[in-house]
Each structure stands twice: as C-alpha cells, then as structure tokens.
C-alpha cells in the first residue's frame, strides 16, 4: 500500500523548522498591498477562501478593484466580472491607478494631461497577468473550469468573483440557502486543491438597515446562508458610517467619519479579528490604508526649509524672538 495522499507530521514539522532557521518567507502569503491590513491581519494566503461582504454603496467593487490593482503587478490574477462589464472594470482599474474619476474616463471627458496619464497606466498594465472573464451564464461548474484553465495556462494565484449571489448551479431543488452553501464548499475545495486564493464578494442582508443607531455589519448578516461564515477562511465586512449620516466613529476621540472605510475582520482562521481603517480619495478611485483615523497628518515637503531656517519677518527686533 502506498499512502500517496498523506504526509507524515515528522516531514511537515521538519520543513517548517528548516524554513524558520533559513529565515525564508512564507511563500503562501499574499500581501494585499494595503500596509496596515497586511501588518495587523496578515493579508491573504494560498488555499484560502476570503469573503468580502457589504451592503450596497459600501464600495465593495471599488475596494476589490483597488485590491486587484495592488496585486496584479506581481501575482497572476483572474477576475470574474458578473456585475461589471469588462470595459467598466478596466475603466475602474485605470481610474484607480491615475486618480481620474471613472465617469470622466467612461464619458471621455478628459484633458490632454488625463489622456497622457491613462496611456502610461495602460502601458504598465501590458506587463500584468490580469484577465477578466465575462461569461454570460454565471454557473459554478463553468466557473471552476475557467479557473482550472487559467491556473494551468497562466499559473493564476488570485481569483476574484464579483459576486456570490450572481452564481448558480443550474439545477438545485433544495432552496437558495443550500445552493449558496454548496457553491461556497466547491470554491473552498477548488482553492485548496489548486493552491490558489479565491476572493468572493457577497451581499449582506437588509438586517443591517433596520438595526439601531450603529449600522456595523456582522457575520450573521451574510446573505442567503449561514454556511458562508463556516466555510470561509476569512470574512471581511465593509462599512462606511458616513453613508448612514453617522458623523463620528464610535471611538474615544469621536473621530470624524468623513471618507472613512472600516474593514471589519469578522473571521480570521489563522490570525486575530478586529478593524482595519481606510480613507478614500475625493474621486472615489482609491482606498488608502491608514493606521487609525486621526493619527495621520499631511507632510508638505516644500515647508522643510522653514524648519531648517525659521523665518521671523513679522518681529520688530531680536528681543521678540520666541526662543
């Protein structure tokens, strides 16, 4: 008998010790490109199913496009665009990389300087192994087949599916909740078997809207199935309090919620849970990872000379110098 499907714990532990002694990086870890999310919660890993949930207008699609834009320069990535057309997705990628509002790109209302920025970004994307799949029927079996093809052809490491509730099986008579549970299990098995990371966007139920003063989402808000939270390795829930006209965060400093996105790490099998903060720019093209709202400040490099040579032009004599 040849137990080809098993490995001894002695071999596995020896490999880990060797990696530690050689100070080798964990090759399964995939940084998100968001500094504080990676530092605090470990980013993502190969073999994982990561679920990103949020109510409409929380910025799910734009956040994950920002994530894909961060990753695709170094990791072969496949994006299933069930919600966005490939042209809109590409416009959003270019918008993220240039800071130009996506509606300006789509409507071609651009200055010459904008066009030049877009050309530079488009040129950079030529070196990215980023593919967009726009299959007409969002069937899980067909989706898995496409994933396997891309892993074989392009060594794909990241697969993003936008979004879970648009996926189906075709024939499933046990109800939508059972169907969603089956889809999640199939995707988790696929991630483990192919050693890839699957990022799955999901809607949240309307229970968030009828909750009291705080509209913070929680695991039980995942729509259609309690099995999503059981199967997923990580669950990230997106929350923008400003959308609900909540002007301050519920922290000790009563920090302004203006432009703040909270990523609630509600489940993390191999790490801690908590909150990672982001700030969006005015054009809603980019989410920037921040340590904590209120902790950061703007540094104007042009004023460095003032620190080196203080100016006292408004003072009448040396006796008024405040040192």
Q: Which two tokens stand for residue 41?
A: 């919660």
pLDDT, the chain, mean: 85
- Residue carrying the six token digits 């904590």: 292
Q: What is the pLDDT of residue 130?
A: 95
Q: What is the pLDDT of residue 189?
A: 97
Q: What is the pLDDT of residue 205?
A: 87
Judged against a pLDDT cut of 80, whether residue 259 lies above it is answered with: yes
For the chain, the structural domain boundaries read 26-239+265-276
Q: Given 3.40.50.720, 3.40.50.1400, 3.40.50.300, 2.40.128.20, which CATH number is that of 26-239+265-276?
A: 3.40.50.300
Region 21-41 average pLDDT: 85
Which comes out higher in pLDDT, residue 38 or 20?
38
pTM over 0.85: no
Question: Hey, which bits of the chain come out as E strands?
Answer: 29-30, 44-45, 49-54, 77-81, 130-133, 158-162, 197-203, 234-239, 260-268, 274-280, 287-290
> DSSP code of 321?
-
Q: What is the pLDDT of residue 306?
A: 43
* Interval 48-92: pLDDT, tens: 999 999 999 999 989 999 999 999 999 999 999 887 889 999 999
């Amino acid at each position: 008998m040849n137990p080809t499907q098993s490995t001894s714990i002695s071999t596995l532990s020896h490999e880990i010790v060797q990696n530690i002694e050689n100070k080798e990086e964990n090759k399964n870890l995939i940084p998100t490109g968001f500094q504080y999310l990676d530092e605090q919660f470990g980013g993502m890993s190969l073999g994982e199913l990561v679920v990103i949930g949020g109510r409409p207008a929380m910025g799910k699609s734009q956040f994950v496009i920002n994530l894909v834009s961060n990753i695709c320069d170094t990791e072969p990535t496949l994006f299933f665009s069930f919600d966005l057309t490939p042209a809109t997705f590409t416009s959003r990628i270019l918008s993220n990389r240039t800071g130009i509002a996506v509606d300006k790109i789509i409507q071609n209302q651009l200055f010459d300087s904008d066009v030049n920025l877009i050309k530079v970004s488009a040129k950079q994307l030529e070196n990215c192994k980023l593919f967009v799949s726009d299959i007409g029927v969002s069937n899980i079996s067909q989706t898995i087949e496409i994933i396997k093809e891309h892993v074989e052809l392009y060594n794909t490491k990241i697969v993003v599916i936008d979004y879970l509730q648009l996926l189906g099986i075709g024939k499933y008579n046990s109800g939508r909740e059972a169907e969603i549970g089956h889809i999640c299990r199939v995707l988790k098995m696929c991630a483990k078997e192919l050693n890839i990371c699957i990022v799955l966007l999901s809607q949240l139920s309307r229970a968030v809207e009828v909750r009291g003063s705080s509209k913070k989402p929680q695991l039980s808000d995942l729509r259609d199935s309690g099995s999503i939270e059981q199967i997923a390795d990580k669950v990230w829930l997106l929350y923008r309090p400003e959308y609900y006209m909540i002007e301050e965060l519920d922290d000790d400093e009563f920090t302004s919620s203006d432009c703040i996105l909270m990523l609630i790490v509600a489940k993390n099998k191999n790490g801690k849970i908590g909150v990672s903060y982001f700030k969006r720019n005015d054009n809603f093209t980019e989410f920037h990872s921040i340590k904590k709202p209120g902790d950061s400040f703007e540094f104007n490099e042009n004023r460095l000379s003032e620190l080196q040579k203080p100016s006292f032009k408004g003072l009448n004599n040396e006796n008024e110098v405040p040192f």
